[in-house]
Amino acid sequence: MGKKSTKAHEILVVDDDNYIRLFLKETLEGAGYQVELAEDGVEALAKVEASPPDLVLTDLKMPEKDGLELLRDINHLDQPPGVIIITAYGTVETAVEAMKDGAYDYLTKPFSITEIESRLKRYFELNNLRKENKDLKEKLKAQEVPSEMVGQSPEISNVLEIVEMVSRSDAPVFIQGESGTGKELVASAIHKRSDRAEKPFMQLNCAAIPENLIESTLFGHVQGAFTGASKTTRGIFEETHEGTLLLDEVSEIPLGLQAKLLRVLQEQRFTKVGSHKPIDVDVRILATSNRDIDKIVQEGAFREDLYYRLNVVPLLVPPLRERPSDIPILLEHFVAYFCAKYNQEKKELTADTMRRLELYDWPGNVRELKNNTERAVLFSESSPRLEMEHFFPAGGDSKRPSGMTFSGGSTLADVEREAILATLEKTGQNRTQAAKILSISVKTLRNKLKLYGLDNAASQ
């Protein structure tokens, strides 16, 4: 088992003594390693730069470039191999200097075959552990859920399940949802979990590009293609080759350009503006829209065939008001994040404040919640608690929870009673609809009405 794990490892032996070089080559090859030789530090550095080995085993005292100089040069490379220094001059000062400069280990002559094999085995075991740890961290990072997708509600769980499923394919995904729900984060999560994760993830806000520049932005142009085209440029499709392209607010692409975009999606081939030379690309497409795309298609402002091509996997990101059970989880996450960001002690939300925030419609969705939480942490200064006025300061632009008015002296029971009454009024006294809006069961609503003496306030 051990021999199998060392067979693939390549070691560069560097020593100006031919006898030592050949002795080490025979010994290490007998232990299952692949061995290259170099007579001095200059030759060794050239070999490392040309084809980096897994480990460099170098003598300390050599002409032209000694072992310490070689070590320092190697450590300036992008991906330096490990280095073990061998010397007959085994002073403590030299050992400390070598280790300080990045040597993995230090051996003194004479050494036994058992000793050197043991040191090499230990090095590769440690190196494998480091690699496994790095791979694990990268895997965990890829599985991280963006903060705006935090939650335990069935609605957000369904989104995460779809993200996990579609990430394993190259199918186009059409992500819809209101502004602030986290559509771009969903797209990013799909890319990070895909086989394209190490390739480019590019995002184009189609609504932000002037109509006369969007074709050039998508596909690039050649020099002289139009006035001002002083040089040939690469478009975002070319920049995203082998990666993932997010067409944000794709419904804003001009109708005249939609046919060309459709052809590119079908053929994975395009031409730059002003050119007739086709360019092949491999790009996965994700698209978003916060508009009613079906209505836009019916109105003729968006090509139906392009919509079908983009909408292979439809994914709707729910607004925050439809997953109120996630609000406390998001609040806890954002409060902790912003307290750490601004070097403040951990802050708590009062029960009254939490309840009021849960009752708010959050028209700006998670983005609004995040922004208001940052403001609350800043406005609260040294206070250990976050109050409602920190989230919605007097005179601010933010709307307070719709249909609700709060005075500083309200109890939680008063707020709950007021919320029930306001919701019943909003639904025309329909308990079923009111319970749905309040995210409670009809039975719970009935019990609350009885508790507050409101039994006759609504009818089924």
Residue 103 is which amino acid? A
Contact 181, 365 (CB under 8 A): yes
List the structure tokens of 227: 């006035």
Strand-pairing partners, residue 419, are none
Using DSSP's 3-state secondary structure scheme, residue 87 falls into strand
Taking alpha carbons only, the member of 4, 1, 6, 37 closest to residue 118 is 6
Tell me how far apart the alpha carbons of residues 62 and 18 are, in angstroms, rounded to a whole number: 12
Q: List per-residue pLDDT tens for the chain, 460 residues long.
A: 334 444 578 999 999 989 989 999 999 998 889 999 999 999 999 999 999 999 999 988 888 898 889 999 998 888 899 999 887 765 657 767 777 888 888 888 788 888 888 889 888 888 888 777 766 655 554 445 455 578 889 999 999 999 999 998 999 999 999 989 999 999 999 999 999 999 999 999 998 888 888 999 999 988 888 887 788 899 999 999 999 999 999 999 999 899 999 999 999 999 999 988 999 999 999 999 988 899 999 999 999 999 999 999 999 999 999 999 999 999 999 998 888 888 888 899 988 889 889 888 888 899 999 988 998 998 888 899 999 888 887 544 444 444 445 445 556 666 677 778 777 777 777 888 777 777 777 778 887 887 777 665 444 4
Per-domain boundaries in the chain: 2-138, 147-318
- Contacts of 161-165 with CB under 8 Å at 24 or more apart are 162/313, 162/315, 163/189, 163/190, 163/193, 163/315, 164/193
Pairwise CA distance, residues 74 & 72, whole Å? 5
Report, at the CATH architecture level, how domain 2-138 is classified.
Answer: 3-Layer(aba) Sandwich (3.40)
Tell me if domain 2-138 and domain 147-318 are identical in fold: yes
Q: How would you list the strands of the sheet with 82-87, edge to edge? A: 34-38, 10-14, 55-59, 82-87, 105-108
- For residues 232 and 223, the answer to whether their CB atoms sit within 8 Å is yes
Q: Tell me the pairing of strands 201-205 and 244-248.
A: parallel
- Residue 116: in which H helix or E strand, if any? helix 113-143
Q: Which fold has domain 147-318?
A: Rossmann fold (3.40.50)
Spell 82-105 as b/e; 16+ CB within 10 A means b: bbbbbbeeeeeebbebbeeeebbb
Question: Which amino acid, residue 337?
Answer: Y
DSSP per position, 281-338:
---EEEEEESS-HHHHHHTTSS-HHHHHHH-SEEEEPPPGGG-GGGHHHHHHHHHHHH
